[in-house]
Amino acid sequence: MEARKTILTAAVTGNLTRPEQNPHLPVTPKQIARAALDSAAAGAAIVHLHVRDAETAKGSMRLDLYDELVTRIRNENRDVLINLTTGEGGRFVPTPGDPQKAGPGSTLCPPERRVAHIEALKPEICTLDLNTMWSGQASVINAPENIRIMAERIYSSGVKPEIELFDTGDLHLMRHLLDDGVLSAPLMVQLVLGVRFGAMATPQNMAFLASALPEAVEWAAFGVGRAAFPMLAQSFLLGGHVRIGMEDTVHISRGELCSDNAQLVTKAVSIIETLGGTLASSADARRILGLSQPMIQNDSG
C-alpha cells in the first residue's frame, strides 16, 4: 500500500499582511508570481494567490492583475496547482454612528463579482469562504444565498472549491450546503485557526473540527502568526494536509523575519519529513484531489 502523501500549499501574500510587517512581502503580479514559482520549486504542490494594488499594497479584485499573475506562473510552470482566492469583496466596515452605512475599507459586493476572475481564468482550485464573523476592523459577510451563487459559478467553470472553515458554525453550514446539493462531494476543506474571533489555534480545536468533517474529505489546516508552524505540524499529525506562507506568518522563527515564501516552505518541508511524512508533488496532489492532469504543450506547432 502506497504511503499517504501530504499536500503543501504556499499562501504567498494574502490581503491583510502589510509590507510594514515584512519588507519582503510580494505585492506586484511579478513579485507574487516569483514567490509562487520559488515556493513550488521548494516543495509546494499548490500556490494560493491574492493580488494587490501596486500603489497601496492592499488587496484587489482587478482581473488584469490576476490575468498577469496566472500568465506569469503558467509561462514557467504548468504543473503547480493554482488556487485563487474569492475572499475579496466580503468585508463590511460599519460607519461609527451610522452602522447601516458602509465606511472606508468596506469591499462588500455582489457574489458574481467575487468569482468573475475564476470564471475568466479557470484555475484548478479557488477558495470558498463560509465564515460570517468579525475580523480585524471589519465584519466578514458570507450570506448562504451568496455562497450558493458563488458555488454554482465555480462548479460551472470546472473549478474545485476549497471550502474555508473558520469555526464550528461554518462546519454546520457546510453540512447544510452539502445536504442541499450546493456543494458536491468529495470536498476539499481548509480549517483556518487563529484568526481573531474565529477558532483559536489549539490542538484540541483542530482535532475537534477534523473529527466532525464528513467522510471522504481531503482536508488541510493552518494557523496564523506564531501558531503557523505548530499548527502545520499538528495538521500533519492528525492526518491532514498543510499550508504555510506570508499570508499566514512573516516570521521564520521567533523574532526573525523570513526572507521570502520559499524559506517558509523549505522549513515546512523539513518539519513534515522529520516527522516521517512524504510531500506530494503537484501530480500527486491532482490525483489525491481528483483533478485532471495539465495539457501537454506541443511546441512543434
Q: In percent, how much of the chain has pLDDT > 90?
A: 93
Q: What is the pLDDT of residues 182-214, one digit of tens each?
A: 999 999 999 999 999 999 999 999 999 999 999
Q: What is the mean pLDDT of residues 8-21?
A: 96
- List the grid coordinates of 198: 474565529
Check: CB of residue 81 under 8 Å from CB of residue 288.
no
pLDDT confidence band for 1 (50 / 70 / 90): low
pLDDT in tens, 24-55: 999 999 999 999 999 999 999 999 999 999 99
Q: What is the pLDDT of residue 292?
A: 81
Homologous superfamily (CATH) for 8-289: Aldolase class I (3.20.20.70)
Confidence of residue 2 (pLDDT cuts 50, 70, 90): low
Judged against a pLDDT cut of 60, whether residue 301 lies above it is answered with no
Query: Residue 129 — pLDDT band, cuts 50, 70, 90?
Result: very high
Query: How far, in Å, CA of 80 to CA of 237, rounded?
Result: 25
Residue 68, all three cell numbers: 498577469
* Tens-digit pLDDT profile for residues 266-298: 999 999 999 999 999 999 999 999 998 776 544
Could you report the per-residue pLDDT of 133-190, keeping only the tens digit for each? 998 789 999 999 999 999 999 999 999 999 999 999 999 999 999 999 999 999 999 9
Q: What is the pLDDT of residues 63-117, one digit of tens each?
A: 999 999 999 999 999 999 999 999 999 999 999 999 999 999 999 999 999 999 9
Helix orientation angle between 29-42 and 63-76, rounded to the nearest 10 degrees: 40
The model's pTM is 0.95
- Residue appearing with cell numbers 468533517: 213
